[in-house]
Chains A and B, each alone.
Chain A
Amino acid sequence: MQALTDRVKPVDRRPLTFMEKLYLPAIWKGMAITFKHIFQKKATVSYPEEKRPFSPVFRGLHILNRDEEGRERCTACGLCAVACPAEAITMEAAERKPGEEHLYREEKYAASYEINMLRCIFCGFCEEACPKDAIYLTETFAPANYQRKGFIYGKEDLLIPDPKEKQTV
């Protein structure tokens, strides 16, 4: 039979030699290997105290962005919800009232904005779909929770703190 690749390794079907039948030399070799591993660098880290850095393209929990003046960027256009393959995003739009200009950047805003982190597959399509640079994926992941409703993140969980307020603090 002709081999399909040049990496074919024929199976060695020769009967065991006397030394191999003794088992002990092979066992000793194996034990030497495992003994060597006792002194090697550990592959694992002590997690909560020591964390491995994520890759720069890691896609974790979402945030809702504000502009430089601290106004919410989201205009509740719904493009993120449309782009979402897992249908994890829901929102309700509302109209900006006079006097709320310092809160919302444009005249329409999201009165409620929810992402179900149990549905979300962290593909980042919402980030790509957003025309207003309002939603971003961060380098953290959703912490454990006791109840399903704890995984439904509302606006208060997603919005980043106001940069102006933060400065005063």
Chain B
Amino acid sequence: MTIDWYFILEKLILISGVLALSLIVAMYSTWGERKVAAVIQDRRGPNRAGPLGLLQPLADGGKLFFKEEIIPASSHRFLFILGPSLAMLVACMTSAVIPWGDTLVIAGQEISLQVADINIGILYIFGVVSLGVYGIMLGGWASNNKYSLLASVRAASQIISYELAMGLSLIALLMLTGSLSLKDIVEQQRHGLWNVVYQPLGFLIFLVCAFAECNRTPFDLPEAENELNGGYHLEYSSMKLGFYLFAEYINMFVSSALMASLYFGGYSFPGMDSLGLPHNVVTILGFLALFLKILVFLFLFMWVRWTIPRFRYDQLMRLGWNVMIPLALLNMLITGAIVLFRQG
């Protein structure tokens, strides 16, 4: 068997690029979050470190690195370290199947701007996202602190509950697209209408569930600052805490990318194929279009966070099981009926 070194190099560069992009976006999401919070509350936000406060994330990161590393004496040392590492790893892994753009043609070689175009892309994402619960659960359990444990139990049950509705809302989408590959789904939208037109209810359910999956307000009970002293990462300090917080922002970034790809045409934009520009330029424009869509979703995440108060836990569970899942089932039923009707 010969190893295709060129292929490995290409993928390595792409992986580093995607990883760097998600880290940078996550970094500047913290800045963006603070700015959005500030302008919504009639304040100014960080504006001291660098122009517009743009160096603030670096200062924050530096601070986290220099903080004292505290591992509680009664904690399970290995699991305590594994928790944030897993959260971070899983958050980064999801970005592998998202198509960041069409292909680039460099020196006659066609390079796909997607790390892995696997035909079960959506299934992969669901599998990896489900693993994310382990990071939170392990962290809360290993801290040996009842508040952390309580928060991680909350987080686990919340994420599992909303994953169901999320999956069900996606089944309806998959019935329309007939493919689990994200690249196929985006290409279909490139030549037709965006999926959100066919699946408005499905998108709404997916959006709400994405908020719950990312532990964002109004579903941020796992880290409810004023109820649980910070939630599952209560005992964490220094960069291990940073990993947890960072993982949340990467999750936000990836779910924004996912929502943009599934429902809003991904890297395609209207009039993309009739511009008459060279292939590579169109690809880059497509990537920028995707990035813009992602930024809009990130802004939505932040906008909602600084508007809506937190749900009570029983309300959260009731919404998940009594509203979201029946609605998703109904959406699935209607979509299935229409698909069948149009075939017959």
Contact = CB atoms under 8 A, between A and B. Distances in A.
A40 B42 contact: yes
Given A30-B308, A31-B304, A31-B307, A43 B40 contact: no
A40 B39 CA distance: 8
A105 B306 CA distance: 63
Interface of B is mostly: loop
B47 interface: yes
Interface in A5-59: 27, 30-31, 33-35, 37-38, 40-44, 46
B303 interface: yes
Interface residues of A, number: 14
Contact of A34 (B44, B47, B306): B306
A40 B44 CA distance: 11
A40 B47 CA distance: 18
B296 to A, nearest CB: 13
B56 to A, nearest CB: 15
B342 interface: no
A42 B44 contact: yes
Interface string B29-45: 00000000001111110
Contact of B43 (A27, A33, A42): A42
Contacts of A34: 40, 303, 306-307
A43 B43 contact: yes
A44 B42 contact: yes
A52 to B, nearest CB: 14
A37 B41 contact: yes
Contacts of B47: 46
B44 A27 contact: no
Contact of A35 (B42, B303, B308): B303
A35 B47 CA distance: 21
Interface string A123-167: 000000000000000000000000000000000000000000000
29 contacts: A27-B304, A27-B307, A27-B308, A30-B307, A30-B308, A31-B303, A31-B304, A31-B307, A31-B308, A33-B307, A34-B40, A34-B303, A34-B307, A35-B40, A35-B303, A37-B40, A37-B41, A38-B39, A40-B42, A41-B42, A42-B42, A42-B43, A42-B44, A43-B42, A43-B43, A44-B42, A44-B44, A46-B44, A46-B47
